[in-house]
Amino acid sequence: MIASHERAVAAGELGAELERLGGRLMMLFVAGNSTPGSHDLRAIARSDDGVIVLRARVYGSAYPAVTPRVPAAHWFEREIHDLVAIVPEDHPRLEPLVRHPADQGEVRLPEEQEDMPLEHRGAERLAGPGVFVIPYGPVRSGVLETAQFLVQTGGEDVAYCAQRLFFKRRGAERRICEAPPELAVLVAERVCGTSSVAHALAFSHAVESLGATEVPPRAQAIRRVLAEIERLYNHVEVTVRECEDASLSVAQAQFAVLKERLHRLAGSLVGNRYLRGAVVPGGTRIDLDTSAVDLIGATLVDWEREWRVVLSVLLRTDSFLDRLVSTGPLAQQDARDFACVGPVARGSGIDVDTRRDLPYDGYPPFEVASHSDGDAMARMEVRFQEVDASLELIREAIASLAQGPIRTLPRPFTRDSGLGASESARGETLYWLEAGGERTISFCKLRAASFVNFGVFNRVFDAQVLTDFSFIEHSLGLSPAGCDA
C-alpha cells in the first residue's frame, strides 16, 4: 500500500503549491465524488517526503491552470478540459486532446491545425518554399499501432514533429467501474495488452489498498516472476524493432526468436501468451508448481546464454550503433519537466523506478539502471541492463516461493480512495480508484506510462533527420493503446 498524505489547497494555489513541492507530478484529474456545483481536482505528486495528494475544489467553470508553472500538467489539463468541461485558464494550449474533432482522421495542414503549440515546439516552425508536412498515420505502413505524426520538414531535417493520439480510446476507465473488481481486472489487463501484468498489478494494488487486503507472500513472488517475464519480452520487442529499423535481418530474427520463446513460456505457465488472467486483486489465479518452476529455470538458463551471445554481437555491430548513438536526444531537463517515467526517464539520467520508489509485492533491493546520455542508445542500454536485473529478480523470486495460499479474498472496502502503482516495461503505471460501496468501484482514473512519455515525443527531434524517425520512435517504446486507454 502506498503511504501518502493528503492536503487541501485553494484551486488558485495548486500550481504554486506543486511548484513549491518540486517533485514529480504523477497525475492530475477531476475526482469522481465531487460535490454538486463544484469539481474536485486531485494532483498526485512524488516529492522527497513521499506521495502527496493535493485536493483543490473548483467552483464554477474555470480555475487558474497549473501548466504554466508545472509543464508536466499540460496533457492532464487538456484532458480535464475535454472530459469535464472546466477551463484551466491561461493554459498555453487548450485544444482538444482526447476528444477527436469532427474531421476524424483528416489530415490538416499546420496552418489550420492546432497541433503546433508554441510552448512545446522543439524548434521554430519553418516557413517558406520547400517546407512541407508529411502526415504519417493514423494508418501507418507496416504492422503498427494507430497514432498520427505530422512531420514538418524541408526534405531531410525534421523541423517539427507533432503527435496526435487518442484514436484508440476505448473508455477503459468507465468500463472498470461497470464491473465488480474481480472482473474489472480483466479490463485493466487490456488497456495496454503488452503490459497486462503491470496494469493488472497497479489496478489490484489500488483495490487492495481500498480494503487493506494483504497479499500472501507466495502470490507476491509469483507476481514478481510474471512481471519480470513481461518486462523481458517487452524489452526484447524494442530490440527487435531497432534491428528491423537498422535492416539487420539476422539480428532481428535472432531477437524475435528470443521474444517468441518468452511468449511460449508465458503460454505454458499461464495459458495466455501475454500472461493474462493470472493477477487478480488479493493474489494470483495461477500457481507455479515444481514443474512450472523447473520449466522457468530451464528456459531462462538457455535463454540467457543465447541473449548474451546475440547481444554481444549486436553491440559490436557498427551499423546498429551508428544509428542509435546521439539519435533522438531527450534533455534531462525535458525529462524532468514533463515527468517522464521508465526507460525514457532513466535514459536521460532521471532515476525513477516504481519497484524501488513505491515498493510493492516484496521486491528486494536491486540496482536501478540509469544512463545520462539521453539518446536512443542510452534508452537501449538501460533496457539491456534491466534484462539482467529482471533475470536476477526472477531467480530471486523463485527461490523465495514460500508455501502457502496464492490468494486472499479482497476485504470489503473501508477507504474512500486508493492509489495503485506498478512499474511496467514502459514505466510507472498508476490507478486511482474510488469506492462506491463495500465492493464496488465508483470512479477510476488510470495513467499508463505512455501517457506521459508521449508528451515529450515532439521534443526529441532536435537536429534529427527523417530517416531516424523510426529509430527514435521505437527507442521510446511507447504504447498508443496504453496512452489512449
Are residues 356 and 366 in contact, defined by beta-carbon separation less than 8 angstroms?
A: yes
Dihedral (C-alpha) 276, 280, 283, 288: value to the nearest 10 degrees?
-20
Are residues 64 and 9 in contact, defined by beta-carbon separation less than 8 angstroms?
A: no
277 binds other proteins (CB under 8 A): yes
Least Å distance, CB 136 to other proteins, is 12
Q: Of 58-66, 247-255, 341-349, 431-439, which segment contacts other proteins by CB under 8 A?
A: 247-255
Which C-beta is closer to other proteins: that of 145 or that of 361? Answer: 145
Q: Of 22-30, 126-134, 249-257, 428-436, which segment contacts other proteins by CB under 8 A?
A: 249-257
| Contacts of other proteins in 22-41 (CB under 8 A) | none
254 binds other proteins (CB under 8 A): yes
| Contacts of other proteins in 177-196 (CB under 8 A) | 178-179, 182-183, 186-187, 190-194, 196
Are residues 145 and 436 in contact, defined by beta-carbon separation less than 8 angstroms?
A: no
400 binds other proteins (CB under 8 A): no
Which C-beta is closer to other proteins: that of 237 or that of 353? Answer: 237
Among 167, 214, 293, 395, binds other proteins (CB under 8 A): 167
Among 134, 212, 256, 293, binds other proteins (CB under 8 A): 256
161 binds other proteins (CB under 8 A): no
Q: Of 71-79, 169-177, 428-436, 458-466, which segment contacts other proteins by CB under 8 A?
A: 169-177
316 binds other proteins (CB under 8 A): yes
Compute how many other C-beta atoms are within 10 angstroms of the C-beta atom of residue 337.
17
Which residue in 91, 4, 1 sits closest to 54, CA to CA? 4
Which C-beta is closer to other proteins: that of 370 or that of 429? Answer: 429
∠ CA(208), CA(392), CA(402), 5° rounding? Answer: 50
- Using the CB atoms, write b or e for 403-429: b if 16+ within 10 Å: eeebbeebbebeeebbbbbbbbbbbbb
Least Å distance, CB 142 to other proteins, is 7
Rounded Cα distance between 21 and 43, Å, is: 12
Which residue in 390, 193, 200, 207 sits closest to 284, CA to CA? 200
- Per-residue binding string, other proteins, 460-479, x by CB under 8 A, is -------------------x
267 binds other proteins (CB under 8 A): yes
Least Å distance, CB 232 to other proteins, is 14
Phi, psi (degrees; rounded to nearest 5) at 164 = -125, 125
Among 69, 100, 108, 125, binds other proteins (CB under 8 A): 100
437 binds other proteins (CB under 8 A): no
253 binds other proteins (CB under 8 A): yes
Cis peptide before 480 (omega within 30 of 0): no
104 binds other proteins (CB under 8 A): yes
- Please, which residues have CB within 8 angstroms of residue 325's CB and are 6 or more apart in sequence? 375, 376, 377
Which C-beta is closer to other proteins: that of 85 or that of 139? Answer: 139
Grid coordinates belonging to 113: 491545425
Grid coordinates belonging to 285: 489465479
> Look-up: residue for cell 513521499?
50
Least Å distance, CB 296 to other proteins, is 13
Which residue in 384, 382, 383 sits closest to 371, CA to CA? 382
Least Å distance, CB 278 to other proteins, is 10
Among 319, 372, 414, 467, binds other proteins (CB under 8 A): 319
293 binds other proteins (CB under 8 A): no
272 binds other proteins (CB under 8 A): yes
Q: Of 24-32, 85-93, 217-225, 266-274, which segment contacts other proteins by CB under 8 A?
A: 266-274
Rounded Cα distance between 240 and 234, Å, is: 10
Least Å distance, CB 173 to other proteins, is 10
343 binds other proteins (CB under 8 A): no
439 binds other proteins (CB under 8 A): no
| Contacts of other proteins in 117-146 (CB under 8 A) | 138-139, 141-146
Phi, psi (degrees; rounded to nearest 5) at 159 = -80, -40
274 binds other proteins (CB under 8 A): yes
291 binds other proteins (CB under 8 A): no
Which C-beta is closer to other proteins: that of 106 or that of 367? Answer: 106
Give Cα separations from 372 to 34, 227, 348, 382 (angstroms).
42, 26, 5, 10
SS3 letters for 177-189?
Answer: HHCCHHHHHHHHH
Which residue in 431, 464, 426, 465 sits closest to 193, CA to CA? 426
Burial class (CB in 10 A: 0-12, 13-18, 19+), 164: buried
Among 40, 114, 260, 287, binds other proteins (CB under 8 A): 260
Rounded Cα distance between 452 and 431, Å, is: 14
Residues that bind other proteins (CB under 8 A): 100, 104-106, 138-139, 141-146, 166-171, 174-175, 178-179, 182-183, 186-187, 190-194, 196, 237, 248, 250-251, 253-254, 256-257, 259-260, 263-264, 267-268, 271-274, 276-277, 285, 309-310, 313, 316-317, 319, 479-482, 484
